[in-house]
Structure 1
Amino acid sequence: MKMAELSAVSGVPVATIKFYLRENLLASGERTAPNQADYGPTHVARLRLIRSLIEVGGLAVADAREVLAAIDSDLPLQDTFAIAQRTVSEHIDPDGIDRRALDRIDAVLNGWLVSAENPGRLAAARVIESLDEVGQLDARGWIDRYAHAALLVAEADIDEIAALSDRAAQAQTVVVGTVLGDTLFAALRRAAQEHVSALRYSAVPRATTQTP
């Protein structure tokens, strides 16, 4: 298919496709003339993946390029996870976090195989530091319960990957699950908060999605 058809099939404007080509996010088509190329189903799939990472996942173009390169590589999945986590996480200097906050999150993560520079560990410690500053108490094991929920989510992530036998498909699931999984979990948390608060406080939700 020509670029115009690729645009129609994928839903991505021609100008955006050309931008993705220039940024090396999308592979070139098969050249048929000096200014023409043919594209196929793999280009459609790649465009949809790129849009998911950038438009839904919120990745910068440079970060999207890095995780796409990880998908295309032969890197071990553990390394692909590290790349995906780094691209979606803010860089945090551990020296800027109160040691007591780091000790508290390490107590929560006791027994977990987590590196000292893991972006989740550092971000969680900084959240604990902020909670302390505003006087927010953890009176009912709030943080421990979050950690338990996070383990369940991580197991769901890994189960999805384990169900695939092809390395490329596994790597793509690692990246998509890491990038879009954050957005999905935050969205489900918002819905769950409304549901539970309605049950607890008899609030009437603005809309209902109850199913039989």
Structure 2
Amino acid sequence: MRISELSQRSGVPVPSIKFYLREGLLHRGELTSPNQARYDESHLNRLRLVSALTEVGGLSVAGTRDVLQAIDSDEANLNGLMDITLRAVHPITGDPEPTEAALAEVDALAERHGWYVHPGSPLREELARVLSALHSAGLVPDQEWIDGYARAADDVAHRDHYYIGNLAELDEILKTVLVGTVLGERFLAALRRMAQASEAHRRYGV
């Protein structure tokens, strides 16, 4: 198919497709003339993935490139992929370092819930950064509030792994984990806000 058909089938404008090609997010088509190229279903599938990551998931070009390279890598491992995905979703650029108190709070939470935290995992520091920011803003959540969120996260993690467990191909598993993490952030945030609005209406009639 030509680029115009690729645009029509994917819903992505031609200028955006050309930008993705220049940035290396979409592989080149087969040249049919100096100024024309032919594209196939692999381009359509990749374009839909890039569009989901950038337009819905809100990833930067650099973050999207890192995630795509992780998906395509022959030496990928799940811990490394999750590290890349976390940094793509929440790039650590100038965020204040977490306090020792916040790190200790995260460690205590993990111990209470029996969570294994991989040595050197950026997830520990990411959660501690959030807690530090809450404290700096004058919001000090109590243990019951924190544990309530942790139990909800446990349930989400169980459902995620149940879904992944039904997949057979490693490539499909890795793609599902990465893309599901990126878009799952938006999905959970939207669900939370919808539930909050519903609860406010139930309690206060607003």
TM above 0.5, yes or no, is: yes
Distance 1:109 1:96 in 2: 20
Q: Which residue of 2 aligns with 1:208?
A: none
Q: Which residue of 2 aligns with 1:100?
A: 101
Distance 1:4 1:112 in 2: 50
Q: Which residue of 1 aligns with 2:5?
A: 5
Give unpaired runs (5+ residues) of structure 2.
none
Question: Cα deviations across residues 55-102 of structure 1 (Å, max 9, x unaligned)?
Answer: 111111011011011111121233222211221123278993221111
Identical counterparts, % of pairs: 46
Superposition RMSD in Å: 2.1
The ranges of structure 1 where at least 4 consecutive aligned residues each deviate by more than 4 angstroms after the TM superposition are 92-95
Q: Which residue of 2 aligns with 1:186?
A: 189
The structure-2 alpha-carbon separation of the partners of 1:169 and 1:141, relative to structure 1 and needing over 3 Å to count, comes to: same
Question: Cα deviations across residues 125-154 of structure 1 (Å, max 9, x unaligned)?
Answer: 233233334443434600011111111112
State the SS of the aligned residue for 2:15: helix
The structure-2 alpha-carbon separation of the partners of 1:94 and 1:197, relative to structure 1 and needing over 3 Å to count, comes to: closer
Q: Which residue of 2 aligns with 1:203?
A: 205
Distance 2:23 2:95 in 1: 33
Structure 2 counterparts to residues 157-168 of structure 1, below 5 A: 157-168=160-171
Distance 1:166 1:62 in 2: 27
The alignment's TM-score, normalised by the length of structure 1, stands at 0.86
The structure-2 alpha-carbon separation of the partners of 1:148 and 1:31, relative to structure 1 and needing over 3 Å to count, comes to: same
- How far residue 118 of structure 1 moved from its aligned partner, in angstroms, is 3.0
Matched, 1:124 2:127: yes
The structure-2 alpha-carbon separation of the partners of 1:122 and 1:38, relative to structure 1 and needing over 3 Å to count, comes to: same
Residue identity opposite 1:58 in structure 2: G
State the SS of the aligned residue for 1:64: helix
Residue identity opposite 1:67 in structure 2: V
The structure-2 alpha-carbon separation of the partners of 1:165 and 1:91, relative to structure 1 and needing over 3 Å to count, comes to: same
Structure 2 counterparts to residues 78-157 of structure 1, below 5 A: 78-91=79-92, 96-110=97-111, 111-115=114-118, 117-139=120-142, 141-157=144-160
The structure-2 alpha-carbon separation of the partners of 1:122 and 1:42, relative to structure 1 and needing over 3 Å to count, comes to: same
Q: Which residue of 2 aligns with 1:21?
A: 21
Query: Could you tell which deviates more after superposition, 46-55 or 79-88?
Result: 79-88
State the SS of the aligned residue for 2:175: helix
Q: State how many pairs are aligned.
A: 203
The structure-2 alpha-carbon separation of the partners of 1:5 and 1:132, relative to structure 1 and needing over 3 Å to count, comes to: closer
Give unpaired runs (5+ residues) of structure 1.
205-212
- How far residue 158 of structure 1 moved from its aligned partner, in angstroms, is 2.0
State the SS of the aligned residue for 2:205: coil
Distance 1:185 1:115 in 2: 24
State the SS of the aligned residue for 1:32: strand
The structure-2 alpha-carbon separation of the partners of 1:86 and 1:131, relative to structure 1 and needing over 3 Å to count, comes to: closer
Query: Could you tell which deviates more after superposition, 77-86 or 105-114?
Result: 77-86
The alignment's TM-score, normalised by the length of structure 2, stands at 0.89
- How far residue 11 of structure 1 moved from its aligned partner, in angstroms, is 1.1
Matched, 1:61 2:64: no
State the SS of the aligned residue for 2:37: strand
Q: Which residue of 1 aligns with 2:43?
A: 43
> Are the aligned partners of 2:96 and 2:129 in contact in 1 as well (CA < 8 Å)?
no
Distance 1:86 1:126 in 2: 14
